[in-house]
């Protein structure tokens, strides 16, 4: 499978005319602009989210095809619970339906699915689909797909600190042994590469409490394109920009 990834990365680099090291291993995406997309087209806001789901399917499939080893997308933050109850209920139902529908495709494409975030407050319908999707894809050896659902980076960091403190208190961990590696092992993303490239759609210049520890070395790509319109061509532009930022472009 490692050979397969490298072959895909090589083909992608040749197609985009960049060095192979210019193809990121881990792409993280803040999927923004669904409601604005719908409003500008005179459609109900929920239609923007529905179209956004379609864009997500396009992008995860494309990332798998071009040799991206890790993809993490931000679908629902802890702060999003403050939205109107009917909107939250719709989004939760959309997540449950999405997972149920996509699961068979994850299996076919050998995608390993992981959930990043808190389970508390999530409806039972979502928890059931999350658990089953994680279970059924756990041994897959293709791209790793992380869904940041009910996620907040500050909460993640605080939870890590508490776990480390408990281990120190019990004697399982020495304070002087704590370093960045050990701290990272207590985050949701333990075992994953940190993101090389962070993409935010809709032109907003904010990280919105997303992977604050993990994106310390990431290249940022902000596009005015709303998430429902984000496609393979837009992702290629982001990768090419990442390559230029890393000074890996072909001369």
- In sequence order, the β-bridge partners of residue 30 are 74, 200
Catalytic position from the list 80, 209, 229, 236? 80
Tokens linked to 75: 């679908």
- Whether residue 220 is predicted with pLDDT greater than 60 in this model: the reply is yes
Provide the whole-model pTM.
Answer: 0.95
- In sequence order, the β-bridge partners of residue 199 are 29, 221
pLDDT of residue 1: 58
Active site residue 32: yes
Going by pLDDT thresholds of 50, 70 and 90, the confidence category of residue 246 is confident
Reported as a single tens digit per residue, the pLDDT across 115-166 is: 999 999 999 999 999 999 999 999 999 999 999 999 999 999 999 999 999 9
Torsion of CA 210, 75, 85, 49, to 10 degrees: 140
197-200 β-sheet, strand order:
112-116, 144-151, 70-77, 26-30, 197-200, 219-222
Active site residue 80: yes
**Mean pLDDT of the 26-52 span:** 97
Going by pLDDT thresholds of 50, 70 and 90, the confidence category of residue 250 is very low
Average pLDDT of the chain?
95
Measured CA distances, 52 to 29, 75, 158 (Å): 13, 10, 31
- % of the chain exceeding 90 in pLDDT: 95
What the chain holds in terms of domains, given with CATH numbers, is 2-8+23-152+194-245 (3.40.1180.10)
* Widest CA span in the chain: 60
pLDDT of residue 249: 42
- Whether residue 247 is predicted with pLDDT greater than 70 in this model: the reply is no
Identify how many contiguous H helices and E strands the chain contains and give both numbers: 8, 6
User: Exposed/middle/buried for 42, CB within 10 Å: 0-12, 13-18, 19+?
Assistant: exposed
Catalytic position from the list 4, 19, 32, 229? 32
Handedness of CA 128, 50, 193, 61 (dihedral sign): positive
CB atoms within 10 A of CB 46: 16
Going by pLDDT thresholds of 50, 70 and 90, the confidence category of residue 64 is very high
pLDDT of residue 82: 97
Could you give the count of Cα atoms lying within 13 Å of 184 in the half-sphere of its Cβ? 14
- Whether residue 41 is predicted with pLDDT greater than 80 in this model: the reply is yes
**Mean pLDDT of the 238-246 span:** 94
**Rounded distance between C-alpha atoms, residue 145 and residue 60, angstroms:** 8
């Amino acid at each position: 499978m490692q050979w397969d990834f490298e072959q895909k990365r090589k083909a992608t680099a040749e197609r985009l005319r960049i060095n192979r090291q210019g193809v990121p291993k881990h792409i993280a995406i803040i999927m923004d602009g669904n409601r604005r997309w719908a409003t500008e087209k005179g459609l109900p806001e929920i239609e923007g989210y529905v179209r956004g789901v379609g864009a997500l399917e396009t992008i995860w499939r494309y990332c798998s095809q071009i040799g991206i080893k890790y993809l993490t997308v931000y679908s629902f933050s802890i702060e999003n619970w403050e939205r109107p109850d009917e909107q939250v209920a719709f989004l939760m139902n959309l997540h449950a339906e999405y997972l149920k529908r996509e699961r068979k495709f994850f299996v076919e494409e050998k995608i390993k699915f992981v959930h990043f975030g808190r389970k508390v407050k999530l409806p039972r319908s979502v928890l059931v689909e999350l658990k089953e999707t994680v279970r059924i894809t756990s041994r897959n050896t293709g791209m790793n797909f992380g869904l940041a659902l009910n996620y907040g980076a500050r909460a993640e960091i605080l939870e890590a600190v508490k776990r480390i403190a408990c281990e120190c208190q019990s004697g399982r961990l020495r304070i002087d042994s704590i370093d960045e590696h050990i701290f990272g092992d207590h985050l949701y993303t333990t075992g994953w590469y940190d993101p090389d490239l962070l993409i935010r759609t809709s032109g907003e210049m904010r990280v919105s409490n997303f992977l604050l520890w993990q994106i310390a070395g990431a290249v940022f790509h902000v596009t005015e394109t709303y998430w429902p319109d984000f496609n393979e061509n837009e992702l290629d532009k982001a990768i090419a920009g990442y390559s230029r930022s890393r000074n890996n472009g072909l001369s």
